[in-house]
Copies of this chain bind each other. A is one copy, B any other.
C-alpha cells in the first residue's frame, strides 16, 4: 500500500452514529501525529462537501461545511473514481444503513479504497454481494472492517474472525443481538417474575427511543436475522440471505397492514393475552422467554425467535438493553466465550467504527 504520510478520509452519512464518529475522529486526528488524517469528502443523502484538490475539511467544522454545501452527492461510481484519483490512500467511512452504498463496496474496494462501516447491508444481503466484496478486497488489498455491524462496539466480529483464522472451529453461536428486543423482554419477562403488559412495554420502549420510530421495524426480527447472517458467514456457513432461514416476527399477522406505527401501537393491546400465554408457558417451567438468534454449525441451522431459558442462564439475566453473544468452539469446549454489553447507541457504535479505522490505518501506512 506504500508508506504515505497522509491518509484521506471520506464519510458518507452524518446521522446519529455519523455525528458521534465525527467527534471521535476529531479526538483521534488531534492525538495521532502519524499519519495525517485528511477529511476530503463528507455527504448526507442530499449534499456533499468536497473539491477537486482533495482539500482538507476541518473535522470540527465538517457538519457546518456540509450544511452550507451547494453540491449534490455524486453517483457512487463517480465518487469511487474521485477517491481513487486521490494522491494517497483513502478510507471510506459508510455511516449509512443504505443498500445502495453497500452494493457499491466491490467498486470502491477494487479501486483500492478501504472501507469501514457499521452498515449491515453489504454483509447480510445476497450471498453474491458478500462474495464480490471478499473477492474485490482480496484482489486489490484494500481493507474492509465492519465491527459495528453486530453488537455495536462489542468485539464480536474481531473475536469470531480471530477464532476462525487461528484454526478454531465454531460449533454454535447464540445470543441476544438486538438492544430493543433485550430491553423489551428484560422488562416484559424479568427473572423476578413481574413485568408489564407487552403492548405497554413496546409503547414505553418506543417513547424512550429504544425502538425505531415504527416499532415493527424491530419486531419483525429482520435486524437480528441480518446480524445472524453476517456471523454465520464469518463462521463458515454460506447463508444465502436473511430470508433463507426461519425468523419469527413478533408482529401479529392482523397488524402487518397497519398504515402507521402509531396505529400499530394502538391495536397491539388486542394481542397482549397471546404474549401473556407465551410468558406463562415459560414461567410454568421456571423459565423466562427471550428473543434470541442462534447458529448451529453442525446442523447448519440458523434461526431467530422466542426461546425459553432457566433463570440462571446468562441470557435470562441480561440487563437493560444489553446484548450477549455466546460463541461455542472446539477449543473453548462446553463453556462458551461470552461477550456482553451495550449493543446499540451512537457512541458505542461509533467506537466500533473508530476502532476499525485505527486497525486499517495500522495496516496501510
Contact = CB atoms under 8 A, between A and B. Distances in A.
Nearest to A147: B162
A167 B338 contact: no
A299 interface: no
Interface of A: 24, 27-28, 31, 153-155, 158-159, 162-163, 165-168, 191, 312, 314, 317, 319-320, 322, 331-333, 335-342, 347-348, 351, 354-355, 358, 362-363
A155 B166 contact: no
B342 A333 contact: yes
B351 A335 contact: no
Given A338-B340, A347-B331, A348-B331, A354 B167 contact: yes
A362 B196 CA distance: 51
A23 to B, nearest CB: 9
Query: Could you tell me the dominant secondary structure of chain A's interface residues?
Result: mixed
A246 B11 CA distance: 48
Contacts of A333: 342
A193 to B, nearest CB: 13
24 contacts: A24-B166, A28-B167, A31-B167, A153-B331, A154-B337, A155-B159, A155-B162, A155-B339, A158-B158, A162-B351, A162-B355, A165-B355, A165-B358, A166-B354, A191-B312, A314-B340, A319-B335, A332-B342, A333-B342, A337-B339, A338-B340, A338-B341, A339-B339, A363-B363
Given A335-B342, A337-B342, 8 more contacts: A24-B166, A155-B158, A155-B162, A162-B351, A165-B358, A314-B314, A331-B347, A338-B340
6 closest Cβ pairs, A-B complex: A337-B341, A338-B340, A166-B354, A162-B355, A27-B167, A331-B347
Nearest to A346: B331
